[in-house]
Amino acid sequence: MIGPVRPYVVTGGRSRPTRAELAVESLVNAVPRPPELPRHVLLNREHRRILGLCRSLLSVAEVAAHLGLPLGVAKVLVGDLWDLGAVQVLPPVPQAERLPTTLLEEVLVGLRQLR
Amino acid sequence: MASANSAEAPADLPAGPQYLPSSVRGAVKILVTGPFGVGKTTLVGSLSEITPLRTEEDMTAASTGVDDLTGLGGKTTTTVALDFGRITLNSRLALYLFGTPGQQRFQPLWEDLSRGALGAIVMVDPRRLNDSFDVLGRLEEQGIPFAVAVNTFPGTPSYPEEQLRSALDVLPDVPLLFCDARDRRQSYDLLIDFVDHLHRSSLLELGG
C-alpha cells in the first residue's frame, strides 16, 4: 500500500474492488435481464454508463478507456455491478499452475495464424 | 471506419467500442514496457486489432524507501497515459497488450498490470540503455519472464548482440530480439518469438 491516494469521488471513496479477482483484462458483459436492485441501492451515472457500454463483451480496461475513467475506478464500479448481479464477469484465464503450457500453446497458434 | 491518425487521437473519443465475439471465454495479457519514448505505443498499435485505447492514470508517487506514517514526505502526483491493444486469438481467447512505463515511481499501476501477465517485452533504445536498467531489475526481482526488444527504427546505430547483452547484463536465456515497431510483420514476429520462448521454457519447467 502506498500512502494516501487521491480519493475517488465517483466510487464513494473506495479504491478497492470488493472482489479481489477482478483484473484489468477481466471480461465484462451486462446481464440482459438483471435482478431487481435492492431498494437502498442507487446506481450513479458512471454505473449506468458502464451498463450501457457493456451490451456485449469488453475488458475492464476497455470500459475504463471508453468512459474516460482510471483503471482503478473502473474496477471498483464494475465490481459494484458484479456484486449486484447486473453484470457478468468472466475470470481472467486461470494462472493457478504458473504459465500453463497449453495456454501458451494456444496463444502461439493463434498468433501464427494471424501473422 | 477506422479513424485516421489514431495514434494521436485523444482516447476519450474512440470510434466506439469494438466488442469481442460473445464466444470468448477469457483473456490473457502481455506487458510492453520500457522508458518513455522508446516505442511502446507504436508496437502496441502495430499489433492491435482495435484502435489502441488509452487511460489516464493518476500516480501518487511516494518517495522511495521512506517510512510513510506521516503521509507527507515528498509526494507528487503525475498523470501517466496507459495505452493498450487487443488481439482476438481464436473464438475463445483474447490477448491484451499493455504498454506501461516500468519505473519504480509507477509502482501501483505496475502491480495491477503485472499480476497474472504471461510476460513482458522490454523495449530498449541502444542509445540510452541506462533508462532500461530499472525495469529489467524489477522484472528479474518479480520473476516475470521477459524478452528484450531493440527498436530498430532508421538512424538507430546497430550494436553487436554480445555488446548489448553485456551492457544490459541479462542472463543468456533472455531473448534479445530486434524489431522495427512500426512494421506490423516484424512486430508480430517479435511477439511470436517471445511467446515461443515462453512456451519452450514452460515445457522445460515441466521437466520434458
Q: How far is C-alpha B148 from the geometric centre of its chain's CA atoms?
A: 10
Q: By residue range, what is the domain housing residue A104?
A: 9-114
Q: Tell me whether residue A102 is in a domain.
A: yes
3-state SS assignment for residue A32 = coil
**B13: in domain:** no
Q: What is the pLDDT of residues A71-105, one digit of tens each?
A: 999 999 999 999 999 999 986 665 554 558 999 99
pTM above threshold 0.90: no
Please check whether residue A3 lies inside any domain of the structure.
no
CA distance B75 to chain A (A): 9
Q: What is the pLDDT of residue A6?
A: 39
Question: What was the pLDDT predicted at A88?
Answer: 94
Asked whether residue A104 is assigned to any structural domain, the reply reads: yes
- Inspect the interface and report whether the beta carbons of A6 and B58 lie closer than 8 Å: yes
Q: Which residue of B has its CA nearest to A74?
A: B55
The pLDDT of residue B63 is 43
Q: How far is CA B131 from CA A87, B63, B125, in A?
A: 42, 19, 8
Q: Is B42 helix (H, G, I), strand (E, B) or coil?
A: helix
Is residue B109 assigned to a domain? yes
Asked, for residue A4, whether it belongs to a domain, the answer is no
CB spacing of B94 vs A58 below 8 angstroms = no
- Mean pLDDT per block of 10 residues along chain B (208 residues) reads 42 73 95 93 97 87 44 63 95 96 75 91 92 92 95 82 92 94 97 97 81
Q: Is residue A2 part of a domain?
A: no
- Whether the per-residue pLDDT at A42 is higher than 60: the answer is yes
Q: List pLDDT tens digits, range B12-48.
A: 455 689 999 999 999 999 999 999 889 999 999 999 9
CA–CA separation, B27 vs B95, rounded Å?
A: 6
Q: How confident is the model at residue A48 (pLDDT cuts 50, 70, 90)?
A: very high
Look at residue B9 in the predicted model and tell me its pLDDT. Answer: 44
Q: Is residue B142 part of a domain?
A: yes
Q: What is the pLDDT of residues A13-23, one digit of tens each?
A: 555 455 557 89
What domain count does chain B have? 1
**pLDDT reported for residue A8:** 46
Number of domains in chain A: 1
Helix axes A101-114, B184-205, angle to 10 degrees: 160
Partner residue opposite A99 with nearest CB, options B20, B89, B202: B202
Q: What is the percent of chain A where pLDDT is above 70?
A: 75
pLDDT at B111: 85
What is the C-alpha separation between B14 and B63, in angstroms, rounded?
A: 35
Looking at residue B72, what is its pLDDT?
47
pLDDT the model gives residue B75 = 57
More confident residue, A33 or B132: B132
Q: From CA B63, how far away is CA B71, in angstroms rounded?
A: 10
Closest by Cβ to A107, choosing from B62, B89, B107: B89
A21 touches chain B (CB under 8 A): no
Q: Let me know if residue B107 belongs to a domain.
A: yes
Please answer yes or no on whether A99 and B57 come within 8 Å at the CB atom.
Answer: no
Which of A 38-97 lie inside 8 A of B, CB atoms? 53, 55-59, 61-62, 64-66, 68-72, 74, 90-93, 95
Is position B172 within any domain? yes
Q: Could you tell me if residue B5 is inside a domain? A: no
Nearest to A92 among B116, B191, B203 (CB): B116
Are residues A61 and B58, on separate chains, in Cβ contact within 8 Å? no
Using a CB-CB distance cutoff of 8 angstroms, which residues of chain B are in contact with residue A17?
none
